[in-house]
Amino acid sequence: MNILKYVLIGSVTLGMISCGETPKKVKVETVVEESNPMSWYTEEYTEKDDDGFRWKTERFADIKIVKYQIPSWDKLSISQKKLVYFLAQAGYSGRDIIWDQNYRHNLTIRRALENIIANYSGDKSTDDWTKFMVYTKRVWFANGIHHHYSMDKFNPDFSKEYLTSLLAETKTELSEEVIEAIMNPEVDNKKVSLDSNKDLLLASASNFYGPDVTEEEAVAYYKGIMKKDNKEPISYGLNSKLVRGENGLEEMVWKVDGMYGEAIKEIIGWLEKAVTVAENEGQGNALKLLIEYYQTGSLEKWDEYNIAWASSIEGDIDYINSFIEVYNDPLGYRGSYETVIQINDFDASARMAVLSENAQYFEDNSSIMDEHKKKSVVGVSYKVVNVAAEAGDASPSTPIGVNLPNANWIRTSHGSKSVSLGNIIVAYEHAGGKGILAEFAYTEDEITRSEAHSDVSEKMHTALHEVIGHASGQINEGIGTPKETLKNYASTLEEARADLVGLYYLYDNKLIEMGLMESLEVGMAQYESYIRNGMMLQLRRLEPGAIIEEAHMRNRQLVAAWAFEKGAADNVVEKVVKEGKTYFVVNDYAKLRVLFGELLKEIQRIKSEGDYEAGKTLVENYGVQVDQAIHGEVLERTAKLNIAPYGGFINPKLVPELNEAGEIIDIKVEYPDDFETQMMGYAKNYSFLPSVN
């Protein structure tokens, strides 16, 4: 690891800053050397934007904390405001679940850290306290002691002796096993391991399986209970923990009278309130089915709910709630708890509705084989929404687009919902650092094109990815679900497939005819951005020497590296070194589109036919290994810009106003500025699970 110099500003660390996010006041006290100074870098932002809103609040380690606004809140009726509030409370009530799912000791550790903060009366001006607070904030941000993206465990910059002194002074108890889990970098050091050379379960710290359950045993268990040739398979394992019981492996189901029951009871209570103010019958019926699912744990009920939810497209308010995405399970069975509360952005949704209206056109004209195309694309709805609250796996780090349900047969027969989180995208834009584009774009034309079109190109790619990409293609009859056939490579290949659909159509005049973009320059900007990110920029998120393990990062490098290699003979994408700096330059956009189409065709074939070996070869050859020379260069060039590679959000606070009878007469929105205050408030108000479940 390179040794970097940095300066201490009181108890605040200032990285090697040349431009970008620079603090207003700098007081240099001493210069020291550390192997990883940015792990406890901390900085507060107090400046407001031109509109008077403080979008960024602070920076710690590799994270910047951002706020988002809820546009047009006052245009909602009191009934709609209540619906949003009840759904938000339901979501927050389950936040403990994601902590326990991520790691078996997380709740114990979180509560210990929070107790120290609440009760420590010692010196808070020391470097050790700063390091402790940055570690705690990183844990809060990641919903656990493993990085939310790289999956690596955080290594504290303070000593074991300092931690034990804090525990003693605040009368906080932690077992030696838990202290070892915090301090020893070799213990449970990877939340999710996708290394096919290891046992995926034993190498992963996520808490979806008993600590002694092996990959071979889990795969055999589900192979033994899955119904063969079922055209409407349930989502086996989605809502349970697989453990070793007295008579072999058994599932601990997440339901009101099962595992996580204390939190689920609270969720149900708020969902029942939401039913009373549902906007329409379809929405109300879907909520009732979700309640029944939480009560029974029935996966058949989950499918029934998803069909009702996907069909309920009327109304201004919508939500995601329950055990959804399977990225945190190395085998791709178990869903992480997640919730997002959404308010329709009518103007933006109307502009983008043309995508879902033309879903069949995109399917018919895709580059995939005819036998893998859907003959009739059913019920793809698309909206731009404004987020009002997020919790679980969606917070503080959030997606910018979502397409659900995940079950392929429900998508095919009943349709799906796609949303872009409009106000989240706006907040990211306001809080974005400067300098990255200028540093990694090779020509002024690239910079000009990006500045002119990146807003539209990014939104269009997200929309095409979610609306068309995830909803496209079909699996051959008799082939199992991707988690059965493609196993630990399923998520990476699905994200690559959806990305490629978006890329393929972004350089298509059809989008101009539809009025969605003004010229192919939009597609050119996205092609350049995607190649830059896939080949170089995303590597700033990795530690030196690391391989890529996160599914979305693997997907982006796979797509970019494959296109670079396959287009080498025609110099479609060129690697250029100028003055010691590396650039990847797109020379032929039309040929690059053809390459994207060819890769899309192959990945769809892999999914449709369940070709595990071909999928493994693609991901391992192009998506996993990192060019260490390029990686070192990226780290060196981006360090000088001092721009956090990750961002996440403080949620707005919904505050009910009550009359003398205790009835809600209005709900106001507040925009808190302090991440610590939010997280300590959540700990006080939404902690329903025991520390050990």
* pLDDT tens-place string over residues 596-608: 999 999 999 999 9
Cβ proximity of 556 and 533 under 8 Å: yes
pLDDT of 378? 80
Residue 491 pLDDT > 70, yes or no? yes
In this prediction, residues 648-655 reach a mean pLDDT of: 97
pLDDT of 47? 81
Counting DSSP H helices and E strands in the chain, the numbers are 25, 18
Q: Which residues pair with 319 in a beta bridge?
A: 341
- Report the side by side order of strands in the sheet with 380-392: 317-323, 337-344, 380-392, 416-421, 401-404
DSSP β-ladder status, 56-60 and 63-67: antiparallel
Range from 6-15, 33-42, 236-245 carrying the lowest mean pLDDT: 6-15
**Three-state secondary structure string covering 404-422:** ECCCHHHHHHHCEEEEEEH
Q: Nearest Cα to 606, choosing from 489, 467, 501, 456?
A: 489
Q: Nearest Cα to 102, choosing from 442, 335, 258?
A: 335
DSSP H helices, 297-393, are: 299-311, 346-357, 359-364
Q: Which two tokens stand for residue 336?
A: 């992480």
Residue 291 pLDDT > 80, yes or no? yes
pLDDT of 433? 66
Residue 51 pLDDT > 80, yes or no? no
* pLDDT tens-place string over residues 295-322: 999 999 999 999 999 999 899 999 999 9
Residue type, 496: A
Residue 5 pLDDT > 80, yes or no? no
Q: Nearest Cα to 117, choosing from 678, 688, 646, 685?
A: 678
Residue 591 pLDDT > 60, yes or no? yes
In this prediction, residues 170-188 reach a mean pLDDT of: 97
Confidence band of 22 (pLDDT split at 50, 70, 90): very low
In this prediction, residues 508-515 reach a mean pLDDT of: 95
pLDDT of 72? 87
Q: Nearest Cα to 457, choosing from 445, 468, 449?
A: 449
Range from 32-46, 50-64, 366-380, 618-632 carrying the lowest mean pLDDT: 32-46
Question: Of all residues in the chain, what percent are helix, strand and coil, respectively (each to 5)?
Answer: 45, 15, 35
pLDDT of 45? 86
Residue 545 pLDDT > 70, yes or no? yes
Q: How far apart are CA 626 and CA 631, in angstroms?
A: 7
What is the chain's mean pLDDT, rounded? 91
Q: Nearest Cα to 379, choosing from 345, 342, 401, 404?
A: 404
Q: How far apart are CA 416 and CA 404, in angstroms?
A: 6
CA dihedral 93, 94, 96, 99 (to 10 degrees): -150
Cβ proximity of 225 and 654 under 8 Å: no
Residues contacting 524, CB < 8 A, separation 6+? 449, 453, 507, 586, 589
User: In this structure, how many other beta carbons lie within 10 angstroms of the beta carbon of residue 598?
Assistant: 16
pLDDT of 20? 32
pLDDT of 8? 27
Domain extents for the chain? 1-66, 345-647
Residue 423 pLDDT > 90, yes or no? yes
pLDDT of 37? 57
**DSSP string of 127-141?**
HHHHHHHHHHHHHHH
Give CA angle at 591 (589, 595), nearest 5°.
110
The residue that leads in pLDDT, 9 or 494, is: 494
Confidence band of 172 (pLDDT split at 50, 70, 90): very high
In this prediction, residues 611-639 reach a mean pLDDT of: 96
**Residue 621 has what DSSP assignment?**
I
Residue type, 326: V
Cβ proximity of 52 and 23 under 8 Å: no
* pLDDT tens-place string over residues 112-153: 999 999 999 999 999 999 999 999 999 999 999 999 988 999
pLDDT of 306? 97
The residue that leads in pLDDT, 417 or 33, is: 417
Residue 16 pLDDT > 90, yes or no? no
Phi, psi of 642 (to 5 degrees): 55, 45
Residue 7 pLDDT > 90, yes or no? no
Q: How far apart are CA 548 and CA 261, in angstroms?
A: 36
The residue that leads in pLDDT, 343 or 382, is: 343
pLDDT of 36? 57
* pLDDT tens-place string over residues 439-453: 999 999 999 999 999
In this prediction, residues 422-450 reach a mean pLDDT of: 90
Q: How far apart are CA 462 and CA 79, in angstroms?
A: 31
pLDDT of 30? 29
Confidence band of 401 (pLDDT split at 50, 70, 90): confident
| Burial degree of 659 (CB within 10 A; 0-12, 13-18, 19+) | exposed
Range from 75-89, 280-294, 343-357, 655-669 carrying the lowest mean pLDDT: 343-357
Confidence band of 48 (pLDDT split at 50, 70, 90): confident
Helix (H, G, I), strand (E, B) or coil at 338: strand
pTM, 2 dp:
0.84
pLDDT of 543? 86
Residue 35 pLDDT > 60, yes or no? no
Residue with tokens 């809060």: 140
- Cis amide bond preceding 396, omega within 30: yes
Rg (CA), the chain: 25
